[in-house]
Structure 1
Amino acid sequence: MTTSSVSNGAADRPPPVKSSLIDPDGGALVDLVVSESDAEAKAREVESLPRVPLTRIDLEWVHVISEGWASPLKGFMRENEYLQSLHFNCLRLNDGSIVNMSLPIVLAIHDEIKQAIGSSEKVTLVGPDGGVVGILRSIEIYKHNKEERIARTWGTTAPGLPYVEEAITHAGNWLIGGDLEVLKPIKYNDGLDHYRLSPKQLRQEFDKRQADAVFAFQLRNPVHNGHALLMNDTRKRLLEMGYKNPILLLHPLGGFVKADDVPLDVRMEQHSKVLEDGVLDPKTTIVAIFPSPMHYAGPTEVQWHAKARINAGANFYIVGRDPAGMGHPTEKRDLYDPDHGKKVLSMAPGLEKLNILPFRVAAYDTVAKKMAFFEPSRAQDFLFISGTKMRNYAKSGENPPDGFMCPGGWKVLVQYYASLQGEETQSPALSA
């Protein structure tokens, strides 16, 4: 081998691994919680301002914006940001660069609130419990065309879309945007706040663990051994690529979900059992809650899920079949093509610096009696256990095949569904 060939070979290799932490969108992580020294003055200021009430979902968006998940966004969208998000799925910054922003993050108000605001340039945001949350400055109020928003976000205006029914249908006819200031960090006091690590806190934890790669896994369901296989296999692949200490961010969605999804507290208990049972390694796994509400908007929403993890420091994102999808609300079919999510992520503007990892299909191998990657050559040996089938197992108290889920995690689900059946049995007496 000649000297020149060695030199060329070195040039062809990827650069040495230096850090897992890629820059947040816009170059700097947004933090909109005011300092303690300023909080007292802000608290006096809010008393004289018109008040805008927030719903629970609005408060979740305040949480998301204030911690920098939507960086470089610094408040609820004004009209120019809203239109870019709605029609282009991205924002163009002042320097000409593009960041992904596939979901409009907006605050709706009713006619009487708009009238009460009048000519004021700032408003006080009030939480569902009546407490002051923060201030919205340099406000802009513009028309809320609900049909256009729904059609462009979901690709349909069919009745029965969970987020639409919860947050848009009965919302006001106006949107109010502006620069956000939050008086104190958002807390829910539900026993889970210690899981709600901000992007800044997550980046600090990745540094503390000396991560040289961070791979994020988004989910809103219990973790079964097929999920674990995907996550463990991803870590193995990253090690083979030359990384020395890849860290998994197991990042369940913690905001609004539809009524038949497993509640957050149950999911978090189930996730903890997965680590306790050693299905995932606690030394190389961080479990945290992603505070965003869920839209079930398929390829449009999966871009938001990926973009937010960039701001948390992840440089790899695992994507599977039909991410952020759901069944069509009025027809017996998937609302979105199951493969479009991962295809869109690989092409989406503003996500170029994130490495997308499409995962292989996992199913229950009836021969090996464990979750394994599907092999088309022996398709008859594999059993696909859908979420509906898993729920039916748990509701009936029937155990799934050995190796589908760790025993501790399965026990959590069985107890949850048993408690629901108990409530259903008692409800006629209670109503009487």
Structure 2
Amino acid sequence: MSENDSIKPHGGVLVNRITNIDPTGLFSVTISEDLANDVENIADGIFSPLEGFLGQQDFESVVSRGRLANDLAWTIPIVLDVDEQTGSKMKESGKVLLQNPQGVGVAVLNVEEVYTFDKEKTSQGIYGTTDSSHPGVAKTMSMKDYLVSGKIDYIQRPDDTEIRKYRLTPKQTRQAFAQAGWKTICAFQTRNPPHVAHEMLQKTSITTRDGVFFTY
């Protein structure tokens, strides 16, 4: 199997937002580690077809019906939340340097929209509840009041860590599958230590598919 024969990415196009633009002089905003990871995932095409943070139309469509405005299935909104003052400065600046918590400028956001959202409606639409004991609801309710949309240009990866050496982009995984001759692959998310049921699913997958792809 060649790389070109692999399964098409969600939405049909594998996004690549890696660039080498100069961010000198841009207004900068520090984002959380989770948001920095989201930005890198967008850049590498892990979140294909997204090229940046969701605009209001896409956001409201995801919340209300689990689809982007173009009807493509998408259930969790990828958004950047800010306070009103920061949102106003970002809109005025147009291009904004996004820095990770270590102060590294990782990407440039091309600001398109700054908009408000209903946190309870968002929680109900995404998680089916407004109970704050749900971690997703708690995270949503703790978000700042404004969302900023726009495509990102990724300019610098964070420093290498022990775990990052195992990170593969979608392009790299496709190359690995092609080299191994895999045509059917089962993915398993290793968020938690595997339970017995997980182990049984993995063993079954290995016997019925070409390979098992572990993600984290």
TM-score between the two structures when normalised by the length of structure 1: 0.46
Partners of 1:29 and 1:160 lie apart in 2 by 36
Q: State the match for 2:174 in structure 1.
A: 203
Answer yes or no: is the 8 Å Cα contact 2:205–2:211 preserved in 1.
no
Q: Does 1:145 align with 2:145?
A: no
Q: State the match for 2:9 in structure 1.
A: 24
Q: Does 1:135 align with 2:99?
A: no
Partners of 2:195 and 2:114 lie apart in 1 by 46
Answer yes or no: is the 8 Å Cα contact 2:187–2:213 preserved in 1.
yes
Shift of 1:160: 2.4
Structure 1 runs not aligned, ≥5 long: 1-18, 239-245, 254-432
Shift of 1:144: 2.7
Instruction: Check 1:60–1:225 CA distance in 2 against 1; reply closer, same or farther (3 A cut).
Output: same
2:18 to 19, 23, 33: 33
Q: State the match for 1:61 in structure 2.
A: 38
Q: State the match for 1:222 in structure 2.
A: 193
Higher strand share: 2
Shift of 1:138: 4.2
Q: State the match for 2:63 in structure 1.
A: 86
Q: Does 1:189 align with 2:166?
A: no
Partners of 2:164 and 2:17 lie apart in 1 by 18
Answer yes or no: is the 8 Å Cα contact 2:120–2:141 preserved in 1.
no
> What number of residue pairs does the alignment pair up?
213
Partners of 1:90 and 1:212 lie apart in 2 by 28
Q: State the match for 2:204 in structure 1.
A: 233
Structure 2 runs not aligned, ≥5 long: none
Partners of 2:88 and 2:5 lie apart in 1 by 49
Amino acid at match of 2:173: L
Alpha-carbon displacement from aligned partner over 1:2-61 (angstroms, at most 9, x marks no partner): xxxxxxxxxxxxxxxxx9721112222101111xxxx2xx23xx2322222201111121
Higher helix share: 1
Alpha-carbon displacement from aligned partner over 1:317-375 (angstroms, at most 9, x marks no partner): xxxxxxxxxxxxxxxxxxxxxxxxxxxxxxxxxxxxxxxxxxxxxxxxxxxxxxxxxxx
Partners of 1:92 and 1:160 lie apart in 2 by 30
Partners of 2:134 and 2:160 lie apart in 1 by 29
Q: Does 1:247 align with 2:214?
A: no
Answer yes or no: is the 8 Å Cα contact 2:91–2:111 preserved in 1.
no
Amino acid at match of 2:168: L
1:105 to 71, 78, 89: 78
Q: Does 1:51 align with 2:24?
A: no
Partners of 2:91 and 2:67 lie apart in 1 by 31
Partner SS, residue 150 of structure 2: strand
Structure 2 counterparts to residues 360-371 of structure 1, below 5 A: none
Answer yes or no: is the 8 Å Cα contact 2:188–2:213 preserved in 1.
yes
Partners of 2:190 and 2:99 lie apart in 1 by 30
Structure 2 counterparts to residues 22-421 of structure 1, below 5 A: 22-34=7-19, 39=20, 42-43=21-22, 46-93=23-70, 98-165=71-138, 167-185=139-157, 187=158, 189-238=160-209, 246-251=210-215, 253=216
% identical equivalent positions: 27
Task: Kindly indicate whether structure 1 or structure 2 has the higher relative contact order, using CA contacts under 8 Å at least 6 residues apart.
Answer: 2
Answer yes or no: is the 8 Å Cα contact 2:90–2:111 preserved in 1.
no
Partners of 2:78 and 2:50 lie apart in 1 by 9
Answer yes or no: is the 8 Å Cα contact 2:26–2:96 preserved in 1.
yes
Partner SS, residue 58 of structure 1: helix
Shift of 1:126: 1.5
Instruction: Check 1:211–1:48 CA distance in 2 against 1; reply closer, same or farther (3 A cut).
Output: same
TM-score between the two structures when normalised by the length of structure 2: 0.89
Answer yes or no: is the 8 Å Cα contact 2:130–2:137 preserved in 1.
no
Partners of 1:24 and 1:71 lie apart in 2 by 7
